């Protein structure tokens, strides 16, 4: 009896330790960004592009990178939904039940999900060279879309798998086609979960540096065309951190803070939206 | 169109992988009557019902042979177009599954799919079929609320209204009262008795008393075989097969 109690206590202790470790490292990261970045935060940071000598400590901001990141992650997320949602719907609604092919799809998406983002960057870069394309917003969008597609498909897939089969049958029984059932019933039932999946993919896209380093390039001006290079927040942070001037390094942390706040705002907005959308979901 | 059978089945065999679930089934279902498919659980009642509207297709590893004639069309023919066949039949499942939308949209779902867009016509359809399913009085004030907010019994009647709204000639029910409380079950049964004036109704049930109360025609399945079928009175009072006698007495289940 004593041994079982000891075991119980040991495991409880380990779990608490793990939880504390994770939460405290999260808090530490946020605190570092906040403490180091806040003093360098200014209106200029979010409303101006880098002026001459910005990277030596002179005036300006990183509006170019903020907009660049939003365009890039937004475009990539849209592109990924455009391809990802049909794939997930195919795997769950259109395929023959129990088809091997679907299992193979799931497996390959899981493998792709584990591929480091620099590989997607390199792959995108190779394709761009093939088409004689220069680093650009479009190149970055494609690379990020490729990066986030596997995780988006798999998380939407998991949500769709939870839709009860009887719900589909109820729709078929009324004479609906698979297509109508997929769009009007399955997507509607799974909408909150789909939204969450899209949001997580967006967060990963906006935070990634390695996939855009060759494909999107970098520029000090505000993105104006799909075919011109764009700046991104992760790269802006990287470049500023590399400059041995305290003023510039401080702005790197301020940039990180901006990125964090952006992701926070988008998460909250999506949560609110998801809550509204659960109204009709059948339990 | 007196007494022409809407549904008749010839030499139907169904396998799930290696399991032989329905064996050489031959039967016909009388129009504008309530037919009960009875038998112990696992004997193939659901499978038989689902072969009437080819929902059985969506099961993994299923093989079907034979003919199921609906209005003289063999619906098992691979070339048969399933959506118009399914439109002829409303379906109720063991547990009600309202669609993830409002009460109104649930009933309007079928008509919209089949091309009705005018708001006025849809309003009229929704009201007419909610009344037919005796749900109108309870929901008329809250048609735009989510269907999932209704009680189970109300949801089942909503599913009935939703099925009726595509104007089928046949209603299929797979133990449609088994998830409901006694009062809700009674309301559904009463609605069925009323609807049989206009519809051919087929219900699966494993409750003998329900079959006695409702059925005009009975089909008795046992281990995938059709043991006996016939008019309800004959079936219950003068069964021909020893197996049927034992089942009615409750000796086998
Ligand atoms: N999806 C399925 N896959 C494999 N076997 C099934 C499936 N559905 C039903 N069966 C088998 O078919 C037989 C008949 O099932 P069913 O028609 O559901 O019986 P009932 O409705 O009379 O209880 C059972 O033995 C069951 O194991
Ligand atoms: Mg059953």
Per-residue pLDDT at B3: 47
pLDDT above 90: residue A34: yes
Contact residues, chain A, for B86 at CB < 8 Å: 172-175
Question: Which of A102, A84, A104 lies closest to A92 in space, CA to CA?
Answer: A102
Give every residue of chain B whose pLDDT is below 50, as ranges.
1-3
For B105, the domain range is 98-167
- For residues B236 and B193, membership in a common domain is answered with yes
Whether residue B160 is found in the same domain as residue B177: no
Nearest of B96, B84, B87 to residue B160 by alpha carbon: B96
Residue B221 belongs to what H/E stretch?
Answer: strand B217-222
Residues B156, B208, single domain; the answer is no
Smallest Cβ–Cβ distance between A167 and the set B82, B97, B163 belongs to B97
Same domain, B63 and B112: no
Which residue CA neighbors atom 27 of ligand 1 most closely? B42
Contact assignment for B58 to A97 by CB distance below 8 Å: yes
Task: Give yes or no: residues B24 and B75 share one domain.
Answer: yes
The answer to whether position B162 is within a domain reads yes
Q: Of the candidates B167, B190, B219, which is a domain's last residue? A: B167
Alpha helices (runs of H) in A38-163, residue ranges in sequence order: 43-47, 63-89, 100-113, 117-130, 137-161
Q: Does B83 sit within 8 Å of A177, measured CB to CB?
A: yes
A185 to chain B: which residues are within 8 Å by CB? 99-100
Same domain, B134 and B178: no
ipTM of the predicted assembly exceeds 0.90: yes
B121, B145, B167: which is the final residue of a domain? B167
Per DSSP, B102 falls in state B
Residue of B59, B146, B162 with shortest CB distance to A174: B162
- Ligand 1 closest atom vs CA B47: 17
pLDDT of residue A86: 96
Phi, psi values for residue B166, rounded to 5°: -90, 10
How far is the alpha carbon of A96 from chain B, nearest alpha carbon, in Å? 8
Between A114 and B1, the more confident residue is A114
Q: What separation in Å is there between the alpha carbon of B46 and the centre of ligand 1?
A: 7
B147 CB-side CA count, 13 A: 28
Which ligand is the nearest neighbour of the Cα of B223? 1
Domain total for chain B?
A: 2
How large is the average pLDDT for residues A144-166?
96
Q: Check if B51 has its Cβ closer than 6 Å to any atom of ligand 1.
A: no
Predicted pLDDT at A107: 96
DSSP secondary structure of A220-264: SSPP--TTS----HHHHHHHHHTSS-HHHHHHHHHHHHHHHHHHH
Position A53 pLDDT exceeds 90: no
Q: Give me the residue label for tokens 């494909």.
A: A215
Helices (H), chain B: 45-52, 82-87, 103-113, 119-132, 136-139, 152-164, 182-195, 208-214, 232-237, 242-249
User: What is the average pLDDT value for chain A, to the nearest integer?
Assistant: 93
Cα separation, B27 vs B31, in Å, equals: 13
Structure tokens at A193: 């979960």
Give the nearest ligand 1 atom to B48 CA. Answer: 17
The CATH number assigned to the domain holding B239 equals 3.40.50.300
Lowest mean pLDDT across A148-157, A177-186, A221-230, B217-226: A221-230
> What pTM was estimated for this model as a whole?
0.88
Q: Which whole number is the average pLDDT over A264-273?
A: 87
Report if residue B62 sits inside a domain. Answer: yes
Tell me what pLDDT residue A270 has. 85
Q: Is the CB of B100 under 6 A from ligand 1?
A: no
Q: Is the dihedral of CA B225, B227, B231, B235 positive or negative?
A: negative
B44 lines ligand 1 (CB under 6 A): yes
Q: Are residues B177 and B153 in the same domain?
A: no
The residue whose CA is least distant from atom 5 of ligand 1 is B16
> Measuring from atom 18 of ligand 1, which residue has the nearest CA?
B46
Would residue B93 count as lying in a domain?
Answer: no
Nearest Cβ partner of B91 from A98, A164, A173? A173
* A vs B: CB pairs below 8 A: 84
User: What is the C-alpha separation between B103 and B140, in angstroms, rounded?
Assistant: 10
Please indicate, yes or no, if residue B48 is contained in any of the structural domains. yes
B182 in the same domain as B62: yes
Q: B66 in a domain, yes or no?
A: yes
Query: Which pLDDT does position B1 carry in this prediction?
Result: 38
Q: Are residues B42 and B116 in the same domain?
A: no
Are residue B5 and residue B84 in the same domain, yes or no? yes
**pLDDT (tens digit per residue) in A220-231:** 998 889 999 999
Identify whether residues B20 and B70 lie together within a single domain: yes
Closest-CA residue of chain B to A166:
B97
Are B110 and A175 a contacting pair at CB < 8 A? yes
Give the best residue of B100, B101, B167 to mutate against chain A (max A CB count within 10 A). B100
DSSP-assigned beta bridge partners for residue B16: B19, B62
Domain C-terminal end among B119, B141, B167:
B167
A173/B99 Cβ within 8 A = no
Same domain assignment for residues B104 and B76: no
| Closest ligand to the CA of B49 | 1
* pLDDT category of residue A1 using cuts at 50, 70 and 90: low
**pLDDT value for A283:** 76
Q: Between chains, do A280 and B109 touch, taking CB under 8 Å as contact?
A: no
pLDDT tens by residue, B197-244: 999 999 999 899 999 999 999 999 999 999 999 999 999 999 999 999
Residues in chain B: 253
CA distance A113 to chain B (A): 29
Bridge partners of A22, per DSSP, are none
């Amino acid at each position: 009896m004593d041994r079982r109690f000891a075991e119980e206590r040991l495991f409880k202790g380990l779990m608490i330790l793990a939880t504390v470790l994770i939460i405290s490292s999260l808090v530490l990261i946020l605190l570092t960004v906040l403490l180091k970045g806040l003093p360098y935060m200014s209106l200029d940071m979010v409303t101006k592009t880098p002026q001459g000598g910005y990277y030596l400590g002179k005036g300006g901001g990183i509006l170019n990178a903020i907009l660049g990141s939003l365009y890039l992650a937004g475009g990539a997320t849209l592109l990924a939904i455009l391809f990802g949602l049909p794939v997930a719907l195919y795997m769950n609604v259109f395929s023959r039940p129990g088809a091997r092919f679907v299992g193979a799809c799931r497996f390959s998406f899981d493998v792709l999900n584990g591929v480091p983002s620099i590989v997607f960057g390199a792959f995108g870069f190779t394709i761009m060279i093939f088409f004689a394309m220069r680093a650009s917003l479009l190149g970055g969008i494609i690379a990020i879309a490729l990066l986030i597609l596997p995780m988006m498909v798999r998380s939407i897939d998991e949500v769709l798998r939870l839709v009860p089969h009887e719900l589909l049958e109820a729709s078929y029984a009324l004479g609906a086609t698979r297509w109508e059932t997929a769009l009007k019933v399955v997507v509607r039932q799974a909408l909150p979960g789909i939204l969450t999946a899209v949001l997580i993919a967006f967060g990963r896209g906006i935070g990634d540096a390695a996939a855009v380093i060759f494909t999107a390039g970098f520029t000090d001006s505000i993105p104006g065309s799909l075919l011109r290079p764009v700046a991104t927040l992760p790269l802006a942070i990287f470049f500023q951190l590399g400059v041995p001037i305290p003023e510039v390094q401080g702005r790197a942390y301020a940039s990180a803070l901006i990125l964090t706040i952006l992701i926070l705002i988008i998460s909250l907005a999506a949560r609110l939206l998801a809550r509204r959308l659960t109204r009709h979901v059948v339990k | 169109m007196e007494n022409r059978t809407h549904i008749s089945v010839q030499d139907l065999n169904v396998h799930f992988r290696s399991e032989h679930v329905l064996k050489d089934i031959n039967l016909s279902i009388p129009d504008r009557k309530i037919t009960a498919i009875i038998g112990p659980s696992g004997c193939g009642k659901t499978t038989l019902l689902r072969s009437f509207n080819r929902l059985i297709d969506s099961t993994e590893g299923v093989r079907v042979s034979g003919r199921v004639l609906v209005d003289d069309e063999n619906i098992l023919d691979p070339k048969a177009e399933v959506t118009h066949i399914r439109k002829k039949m409303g379906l109720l499942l063991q547990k009600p599954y309202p669609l993830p939308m409002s009460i109104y949209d649930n009933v309007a779902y079928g008509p919209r799919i089949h091309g009705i867009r005018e708001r006025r016509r849809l309003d009229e359809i929704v009201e007419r079929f909610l009344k037919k399913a005796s749900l109108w009085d309870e929901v008329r004030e809250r048609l735009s609320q989510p269907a999932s907010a209704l009680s189970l019994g109300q949801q089942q009647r909503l599913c009935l209204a939703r099925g009726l709204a595509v104007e089928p000639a046949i209603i299929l029910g797979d133990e449609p009262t088994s998830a409901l409380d006694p009062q809700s079950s009674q309301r559904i049964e009463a609605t069925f008795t009323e609807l049989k004036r206009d519809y051919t109704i087929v219900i699966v049930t494993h409750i003998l008393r329900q079959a006695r109360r409702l059925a005009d025609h009975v089909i008795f399945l046992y281990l995938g075989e059709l043991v006996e079928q016939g008019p309800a009175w004959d079936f219950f009072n003068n069964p021909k097969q020893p197996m049927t006698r034992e089942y009615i007495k409750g000796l086998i289940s």
